[in-house]
């Protein structure tokens, strides 16, 4: 946890200036044409039925060394729980970091004499699991990863004693398919350059048949690109060792080079006794370059044991073999016993992860047995995390997914299996072979080809709509509604004919930190994402940024400093200042909805006028009251709204009036002082609350505000 210097309290503005200004603006808005908001209460307009205990949650991710102990203080847990976000998801950062996950500290190695091989946790652990760790994979072939990015590819590390090896669990003896899945490695040169040669130092097992190919696209996202085999790039009688190939009669300008591995030798290193040692493919080092007039091969690849110093490579899969010495002490995951005993799960089933890409099915099964032996509430099991972001083939992921699913089904067939926490709803992957660029559709198609669509019982994805968090933030907020509609439509189309419930495994402003995450736009975005997703029939949306944190900037200097967090942390990592997302969470879970597990009915709600600035999401609570969540995304002007309802048996809208409670959160309550790492709230008040006994159905929404109106209609 990064710590902050003491605040400069003299920069805190006077508290009561903004409320007075807001009242003046509200008066000016009275002359505007009202924006008409209408909730359709007829049965045909019902869009979803849910409750806060099911619909709105938050996640706990992996952390840096020592942060887990600081996070799980009684103070922090109490503050997080007070936000009212009941369901919890456990995020598996080890999966993003290309690491094997030891969910518990006790278990067995496949090669116990050397404390190495394939790990399976003990489902009868004798000590409470308070912290768990990931283990770096010494047979890794990817230069970069999606977590801490502190490891490197063994394909271009300059060391012939190391090697990349593909995942043995993709062999037909594990998948049950007719033949082993082809594997591949891709070298990305620094620039497009003339190439006519490749050098491959094979390990064991090596490829007996393979093709060396180049990508014709301008970049890896070019939809017109395709893989083409070099004129002399086909090898049908490979014998291992180190080979240098002249790929054609002349050089060709390329940047991306792929070695497609089609048949394996089935050989293993001397002394190997585990069958998995001879399954798949192994490469010690790869070079791409040109043949000189002197007959010498000139390698263009940078070889270094560093992700910043080596030429970038990525691979189709990675062998999860590792050693006890490979533990990553700087990446911690919360232990299951600490998580379930902390109170953060609120006694509800936790969205529970199992590792897929970088682990083995036996370890996943042992994890589930452990949780069931302990009596912990689990229902949905999320298989893997962001496999689409690891460049792997969706059919490879599908083959591993089905093995893990089968292992879990043998323990408890009633568990709901799903995933894979797609890093985005848009999963076009043009460098992978297939009839469609959609990673998701190809994954679902693979499950259908194996007659296993029933093993996808929910489809989870992450929603961070903005990589660019500079520029016109209000315009981005308006665009989010269009993006969400596209994401939901795309996922439902990709998952057809299956119709799994949709789960947002993580959501937030951006995958990169910036000021907007700590300003009022974060509240508006949170309300819009939750309201729109649930109104579109989504099952659960999990907020990322549950623990206290500190302002950061990691991508764009123009974005300033901020973070996704319910609370800004003090220098000891303890929750101090509530952030806009905290107050918005309380409004969503305790005002828009009634706390608890009773059903809420969400109905179609329309907005006419306001040029897209105002959004609205309506529902009927268990107490019979009509509740509307209203967002004004205009940063400058308030909006006057007139609320109406179409009731059963009627085709026309009538004013929605009666006794009402109005809860509003706007810049009158909150401001952010931008000061680099010392940035902090200036004004930090809870939402304003008003009770109106004879409300007429009209209301002013301040600029950049979230409002909840709960109405008891007259009988």
In a domain, 3, yes or no: no
pLDDT in tens, 644-662: 999 999 989 999 989 999 9
Whether residue 9 has pLDDT greater than 50: no
Whether residue 15 has pLDDT greater than 80: no
In a domain, 171, yes or no: yes
What is the pLDDT, as a whole number, of residue 552? 95
What is the pLDDT, as a whole number, of residue 434? 74
Average pLDDT over residues 330-349: 97
Q: Poorest-confidence range of 258-267, 338-347, 547-556?
A: 547-556
Helix (H, G, I), strand (E, B) or coil at 67: helix
Average pLDDT over residues 92-103: 96
Number of domains observed in the structure of the chain: 1
Whether residue 18 has pLDDT greater than 50: no
pLDDT in tens, 39-94: 999 999 999 999 999 999 999 999 999 999 999 999 999 999 999 999 999 999 99
Checking DSSP bridges between strand 378-383 and strand 350-354, what pairing results, if any? parallel
Q: What pTM value is reported for the model?
A: 0.93
Mutual angle of helices 473-495 and 520-535, in 10-degree steps: 30
Strands (E), 424-566: 458-463, 502-507, 540-543
What is the pLDDT, as a whole number, of residue 8? 30
Domain holding 283, by residue range, is 164-319
CB 414 within 8 A of CB 372: no
Query: Could you tell me which residues come within 8 angstroms of residue 2 by beta carbon, excluding any fewer than 6 positions away?
Result: 550, 552, 677
- Picking from 185, 157, 198, 213, the residue whose alpha carbon sits closest to that of residue 288 is 198
Checking DSSP bridges between strand 416-422 and strand 378-383, what pairing results, if any? parallel
What is the pLDDT, as a whole number, of residue 526? 98
What is the pLDDT, as a whole number, of residue 5? 27
What is the pLDDT, as a whole number, of residue 359? 97
Confidence category of residue 11, pLDDT binned at 50, 70, 90? very low
Q: Poorest-confidence range of 22-26, 420-424, 455-459, 682-686?
A: 22-26
Average pLDDT over residues 497-514: 95
In a domain, 282, yes or no: yes
CB 127 within 8 A of CB 100: no
Confidence category of residue 178, pLDDT binned at 50, 70, 90? confident
What is the pLDDT, as a whole number, of residue 179? 84
In a domain, 200, yes or no: yes
Confidence category of residue 422, pLDDT binned at 50, 70, 90? very high
Q: Which two tokens stand for residue 38?
A: 């209408």
In a domain, 402, yes or no: no
pLDDT in tens, 681-703: 999 999 999 999 988 899 999 99
In a domain, 266, yes or no: yes
Whether residue 16 has pLDDT greater than 70: no
Cα separation, 621 vs 50, in Å, equals: 10
What is the pLDDT, as a whole number, of residue 158? 98
Query: Mean pLDDT across the chain, nearest whole number?
Result: 93
Average pLDDT over residues 217-246: 96
Whether residue 713 has pLDDT greater than 90: no
Confidence category of residue 164, pLDDT binned at 50, 70, 90? very high
CB 710 within 8 A of CB 687: no
pLDDT in tens, 239-289: 999 999 999 999 999 999 999 999 999 999 999 999 999 999 999 999 999
Average pLDDT over residues 9-14: 27
Mutual angle of helices 439-449 and 394-409, in 10-degree steps: 50
Number of H helices, E strands in the chain: 13, 41
In a domain, 229, yes or no: yes
Helix (H, G, I), strand (E, B) or coil at 129: coil
What is the pLDDT, as a whole number, of residue 31? 46
Average pLDDT over residues 407-420: 98
Cα separation, 94 vs 704, in Å, equals: 38
Q: Poorest-confidence range of 17-21, 29-33, 43-47, 533-537?
A: 17-21
Cα separation, 576 vs 587, in Å, equals: 20
Between 101 and 18, whose confidence is greater?
101
What is the pLDDT, as a whole number, of residue 715? 66
What is the pLDDT, as a whole number, of residue 436? 86
Between 54 and 5, whose confidence is greater?
54
pLDDT in tens, 432-452: 877 789 999 999 999 999 999
CATH number of the domain encompassing residue 231: 2.60.120.260
pLDDT in tens, 183-216: 999 999 999 999 999 999 999 999 999 999 999 9
Confidence category of residue 27, pLDDT binned at 50, 70, 90? very low
In a domain, 300, yes or no: yes
């Amino acid at each position: 946890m990064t710590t902050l210097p003491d605040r400069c309290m003299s920069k805190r503005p006077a508290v009561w200036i903004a409320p007075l200004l807001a009242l003046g603006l509200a008066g000016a808005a009275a002359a505007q044409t009202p924006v008409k908001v209408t909730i359709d209460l007829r049965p045909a307009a019902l869009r979803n039925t849910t409750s806060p205990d099911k619909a709105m949650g938050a996640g706990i991710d992996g952390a840096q060394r020592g942060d887990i102990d600081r996070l799980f203080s009684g103070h922090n847990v109490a503050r997080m729980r007070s936000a009212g976000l009941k369901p919890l998801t456990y995020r598996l950062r080890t999966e993003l970091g290309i690491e094997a996950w030891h969910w518990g500290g006790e278990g067995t190695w496949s090669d116990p004499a050397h404390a190495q091989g394939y790990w399976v946790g003990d489902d009868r652990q004798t000590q409470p699991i308070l912290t768990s760790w990931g283990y770096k994979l010494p047979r890794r072939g990817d230069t970069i990863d999606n977590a801490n990015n502190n490891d490197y590819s063994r394909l271009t590390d300059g060391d012939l004693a190391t090697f990349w090896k593909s995942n043995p669990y993709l062999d037909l003896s594990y998948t049950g398919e007719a033949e082993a899945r082809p594997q591949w490695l891709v070298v990305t040169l620094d620039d497009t350059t003339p190439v006519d040669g490749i050098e491959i130092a094979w390990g064991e097992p090596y490829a007996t048949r393979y093709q060396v190919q180049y990508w014709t696209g301008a970049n890896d996202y070019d939809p017109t690109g395709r893989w083409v085999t070099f004129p002399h790039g086909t090898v049908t009688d490979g014998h291992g060792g180190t080979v240098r190939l002249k790929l054609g009669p002349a050089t060709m300008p390329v940047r991306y080079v792929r070695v497609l591995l089609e048949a394996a030798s089935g050989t293993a290193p001397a002394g190997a006794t585990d069958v998995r040692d001879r399954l798949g493919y192994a490469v010690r080092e790869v070079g791409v370059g040109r043949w000189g007039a002197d007959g010498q091969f000139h390698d263009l690849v940078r070889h270094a044991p560093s992700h910043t110093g080596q030429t970038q490579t990525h691979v189709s899969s990675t062998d999860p073999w590792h050693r006890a010495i490979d533990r990553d002490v700087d990446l911690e995951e919360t232990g299951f016993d600490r998580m379930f005993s902390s109170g953060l799960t609120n006694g509800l089933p936790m969205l529970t992860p199992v590792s897929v890409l970088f682990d083995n099915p036996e370890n996943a099964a042992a994890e589930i047995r452990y949780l069931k032996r302990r009596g912990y509430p689990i229902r949905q099991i999320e298989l893997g995390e962001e496999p689409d972001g690891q460049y792997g083939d969706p059919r490879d992921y599908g083959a591993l997914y089905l093995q893990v699913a089968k292992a879990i089904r043998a323990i408890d067939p009633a568990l709901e299996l799903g995933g894979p926490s797609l890093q985005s709803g848009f999963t076009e992957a043009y460098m992978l072979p297939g009839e469609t660029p959609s990673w998701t559709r190809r994954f679902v198609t693979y499950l259908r080809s194996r007659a296993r669509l029933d093993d996808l019982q929910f489809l989870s994805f992450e929603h961070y709509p903005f990589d660019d968090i500079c520029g016109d933030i209000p315009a981005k907020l308006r665009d989010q509604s269009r993006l969400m509609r596209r994401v939901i439509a795309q996922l439902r189309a990709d998952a057809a004919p299956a119709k799994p419930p949709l789960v947002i495994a993580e959501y937030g402003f951006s995958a990169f930190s910036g000021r907007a995450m700590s300003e009022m736009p974060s509240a508006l975005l949170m309300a819009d994402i939750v309201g729109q997703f649930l109104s579109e029939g989504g099952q659960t949306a999990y907020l990322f940024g549950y623990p206290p944190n500190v302002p950061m900037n990691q991508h764009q200097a123009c974005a300033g400093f901020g973070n996704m967090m319910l609370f800004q942390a003090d220098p000891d990592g303890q929750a101090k200042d509530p952030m806009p997302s905290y107050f918005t969470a309380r409004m969503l879970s305790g005002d828009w909805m009634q706390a608890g597990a009773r059903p809420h009915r969400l109905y179609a709600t329309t907005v006419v006028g306001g040029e897209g600035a105002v959004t609205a999401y309506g529902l009927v609570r268990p107490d019979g009251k009509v509740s509307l969540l209203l967002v004004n995304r205009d940063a400058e002007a308030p909006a006057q709204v007139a609320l109406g309802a179409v009731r059963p048996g009627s085709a026309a809208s009538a004013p929605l009036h009666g006794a009402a409670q109005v809860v509003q959160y706007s810049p009158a309550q909150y401001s952010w002082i931008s000061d680099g790492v010392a940035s902090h709230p200036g004004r930090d008040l809870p939402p304003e609350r008003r009770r109106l006994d004879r409300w007429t159905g009209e209301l002013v929404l301040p600029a950049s505000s979230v409002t909840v109106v709960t109405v008891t209609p007259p009988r």
